[in-house]
């Protein structure tokens, strides 16, 4: 391997942006000139390391440790060598070996064969690798990384798949899947198209690792099996120590309730599907190519989705990702009937056009997401995120909406999805998001009712708010050690390890009828408004379900973190919400912890709660709790007022704008009855 680096490689090695390296070349350090490039414009890796060590430039404290990985990831490295390095890193990861260079090649093959006796994912690759030449490089890359698995992923990222998904979309799919998975269920990765999402879930220490199934087409012979790209998928799972079962697409998957199927349908621009003759510009123009390929691609996509629906039973959901041109946009008459068939069967519960730019290769293509599940066949929930970015706030809104649709939660305000009549969508054969899908008010309300309710709200808003902190005033104290900057804190992970707090996962509950038992869902925690569930239905679904204790903290870590203190206790908590129970001997305030969690930025979520810094109480815990409880009372009053104002605004929007209700000036000093004409009107 040529130990040379490009300017971009140097930037990655030094942990800086590419223009910074150009500035280094222009602004030399006395006694340490920038390395001289070779004839091909690249730089000796040794010279670069000497320069960085002498100047101290860059943000990498020890660039020599990561130089082997940088060289291996460089575009100048032979792709075949990089492939062999990936193979050797995989072997080291699955074998737990300390050094490949110290292992005899035949012994290495024997060890790999013992793990892969049927040669399904690794043996042929190790057998064909140049082990003797590359073993030391593989060892250096692994030794200077957190783990061989991390080194494998970093080297794999050197040749990114242009059709791969960006991190924000993978995170969204992982959080959606985590919210939809039930107890003792399975996660199905169809044809290896959702491996990144599955690994994202497996890496979350706060979740029980899901049972993963890899659904694939069985190869016709052994030679074909050795060439299938699913070998790399299985290898990647094994590198991360994920036990994965395999199942043929045509077999019965026997999925329990709560299972989730993840699939991505093909696009006609996928180079793996393209006919070389059609993709050659000397044979045909691009417009003709698109028209020729679009129909087979659409038929193949809907054929795959149809196969998935045959595997779905009660309580099973599927998340299908694909081009918006197939799943959302208007289709030709010859193809639209295939999509309408799924709408008629009531399997498409939600359809969303996603923002552009969610593929690693860039471009303006829009992807779309379908939620498939049994449910209300009369309605479709549709949303369009065109022109928006998939930032943390948008991801959280979409996550909440899709989960609510999957759980048939109607009594909530949707942020992105809107309900459409399925029959209307089918009849017009247009884009699934092109319609005015705002549902009409199902229950007509009289103007008198609206006027009476608005008068009631105005009276409530006019009442003075009591002061929970009346009679108290803040005073500086020497006990704090000189200011808030010296306040003590600890991570939740440390507190949990010391048994000062206890984290209890919420229950994966089926859809239950409403009732009087208080229930904290993820949405309820975010809004501080608990839902209600029927106690008998709960005990039937979850016998012996444990409830919260007084002053338990309930929190969520997906998307934007939220927390609330359940002062009275006696509530059931639904996954993905969790309970944080503070030990009576801990110097911690549940309400102070909740306030800290609610201040965390979006994206601090899935799997990160162990690293959250929370305050410790250096004085009287009872005094802190008393103050925080009083402040919470202020917040609760304010939240109630805001809810009343929101209701007043909605009523005014409906009735005042239409002229059904008007606000007349009140004359409280000389009220007179309204004049009555001869007809009594």
Ranges of beta strands (E only) in 389-428 are 418-421
Mean pLDDT of 582-587: 90
Nearest to 619 by CA among 481, 459, 499, 472: 481
Residues 256-282 have pLDDT tens digits of: 999 999 999 977 544 444 333 333 333
**What's the predicted TM-score (pTM) here?**
0.63
Would you say residue 437 has pLDDT above 80? no
Residue 632 pLDDT: 80
CA-only gyration radius of the chain, Å: 30
Highest mean pLDDT among 38-42, 62-66, 465-469: 38-42
Superfamily of domain 488-617: DNA methylase specificity domains (3.90.220.20)
Would you say residue 581 has pLDDT above 60? yes
User: Per-domain residue ranges for the chain?
Assistant: 4-156, 167-283+291-428, 488-617
Residue 282 pLDDT: 36
Highest mean pLDDT among 66-80, 112-126, 442-456: 112-126
DSSP 479: G
∠ CA(271), CA(274), CA(275), 5° rounding? 140
Distances (CA, A) of 468 to 463, 465, 471, 642: 15, 9, 9, 18
Residue 270 pLDDT: 47
Residue 262 pLDDT: 96
Mean pLDDT of 142-162: 84
Mean pLDDT of 641-649: 87
**Residues 6 or more apart whose Cβ sits within 8 Å of residue 517:** 532, 533, 534, 535, 538, 570, 571, 572
Q: How high is the mean pLDDT of the chain?
A: 83
Would you say residue 429 has pLDDT above 90? no
Would you say residue 66 has pLDDT above 80? no
Would you say residue 379 has pLDDT above 70? yes
Element (H, E) at 574: none
Mean pLDDT of 366-392: 88
Residues 71-85 have pLDDT tens digits of: 888 877 888 888 899
Residue 518 pLDDT: 92
Q: What percent of the chain has pLDDT over 90?
A: 27
Residues 298-308 have pLDDT tens digits of: 888 888 999 99
Q: How far apart are the C-alpha atoms of 229 and 216, rounded to whole Å?
A: 11
Residue 639 pLDDT: 80
Residues 233-250 have pLDDT tens digits of: 999 999 999 989 999 988
Q: How far apart are the C-alpha atoms of 137 and 255, rounded to whole Å?
A: 43
Residue 288 pLDDT: 36
Would you say residue 30 has pLDDT above 80? yes
Q: Which residue has the higher pLDDT, 606 or 130?
A: 130
Would you say residue 225 has pLDDT above 60? no
**Any idea which architecture 167-283+291-428 has in CATH?**
3-Layer(aba) Sandwich (3.40)
Would you say residue 510 has pLDDT above 50? yes
């Amino acid at each position: 391997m040529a130990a040379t680096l490009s300017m971009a490689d140097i930037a990655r090695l030094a942990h800086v942006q590419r223009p910074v390296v150009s500035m280094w070349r222009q602004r030399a350090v006395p006694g340490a000139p920038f390395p001289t490039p070779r004839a091909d414009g690249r730089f000796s890796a040794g010279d670069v390391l000497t320069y960085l060590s002498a100047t101290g430039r860059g943000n990498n404290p020890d660039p020599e440790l990561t130089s082997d990985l940088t060289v291996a990831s460089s575009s100048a490295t032979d792709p075949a060598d990089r492939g062999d390095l990936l193979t050797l890193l995989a072997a080291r990861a699955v074998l737990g070996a300390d050094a490949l260079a110290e292992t005899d090649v035949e012994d290495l093959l024997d060890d790999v064969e013992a793990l892969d006796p049927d040669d399904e994912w690794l043996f042929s690759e190790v057998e064909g690798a140049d082990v003797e030449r590359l073993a030391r490089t593989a060892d250096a890359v692994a030794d200077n990384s957190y783990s061989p698995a991390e080194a494998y992923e970093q080297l794999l990222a050197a040749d990114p798949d242009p059709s791969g998904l960006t991190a924000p979309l993978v995170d969204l799919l992982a959080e959606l899947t985590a919210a939809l998975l039930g107890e003792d269920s399975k996660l199905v990765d169809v044809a290896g198209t959702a491996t990144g999402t599955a690994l994202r879930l497996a890496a979350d220490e706060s979740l029980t690792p899901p049972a993963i199934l890899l659904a694939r087409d069985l190869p016709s012979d052994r030679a074909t099996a050795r060439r299938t790209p699913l070998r790399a998928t299985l290898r990647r799972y094994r590198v991360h120590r994920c036990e994965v079962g395999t199942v043929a697409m045509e077999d019965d998957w026997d999925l329990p309730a709560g299972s989730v199927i993840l699939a991505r349908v093909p696009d006609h621009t996928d180079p793996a599907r393209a006919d070389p003759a059609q993709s050659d510009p000397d044979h045909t123009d691009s417009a003709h190519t698109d028209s020729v390929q679009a129909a087979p691609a659409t038929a193949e996509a809907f054929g795959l989705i149809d196969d998935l629906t045959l595997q779905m039973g009660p309580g099973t959901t599927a998340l299908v990702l694909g081009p918006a041109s197939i799943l959302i946009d208007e289709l030709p008459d010859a193809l639209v009937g295939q999509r309408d068939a799924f709408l008629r069967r009531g399997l498409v519960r939600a359809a969303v056009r996603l923002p552009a730019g969610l593929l690693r290769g860039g471009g303006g293509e829009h992807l779309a997401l379908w939620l498939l599940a049994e449910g209300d066949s009369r309605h479709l929930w549709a949303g369009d995120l065109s022109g928006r970015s998939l930032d943390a706030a948008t991801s959280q809104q979409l996550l909440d909406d899709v989960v609510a649709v999957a759980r048939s939660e109607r009594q909530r305000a949707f942020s992105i999805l809107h309900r459409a009549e399925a029959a209307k969508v089918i009849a017009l054969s247009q884009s699934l998001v092109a319609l005015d899908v705002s549902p009409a008010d199902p229950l007509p309300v009289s103007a008198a009712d609206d006027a009476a309710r608005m008068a009631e709200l105005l009276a409530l808003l006019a009442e003075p708010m009591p002061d929970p902190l009346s009679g108290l005033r803040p005073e500086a104290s020497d006990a704090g050690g000189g200011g808030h900057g010296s306040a003590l804190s600890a991570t939740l992970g440390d507190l949990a390890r010391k048994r000062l707090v206890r984290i209890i996962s919420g229950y994966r509950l089926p859809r239950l009828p409403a009732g009087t038992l208080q229930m904290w869902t993820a949405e309820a925690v975010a809004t501080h408004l608990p839902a209600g569930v029927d106690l008998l239905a709960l005990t039937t679904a979850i016998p012996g379900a444990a409830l919260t204790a007084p002053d338990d903290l309930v929190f969520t870590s997906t998307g934007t973190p939220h927390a609330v203190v359940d002062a009275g206790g006696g509530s059931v908590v639904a996954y993905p919400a969790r309970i944080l129970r503070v030990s009576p001997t801990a110097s911690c305030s549940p309400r102070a912890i909740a306030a800290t969690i609610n201040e965390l930025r979006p994206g601090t979520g899935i799997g990160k709660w162990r690293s959250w810094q929370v305050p410790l109480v250096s004085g009287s815990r009872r005094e802190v709790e008393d103050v925080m409880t009083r402040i919470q009372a202020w917040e609760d009053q304010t939240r109630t007022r805001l809810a009343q104002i929101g209701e007043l605004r909605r009523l005014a929007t409906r009735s005042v704008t239409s002229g059904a209700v008007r606000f007349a000036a009140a004359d409280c000093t000389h009220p007179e009855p309204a004049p009555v004409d001869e007809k009594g009107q």
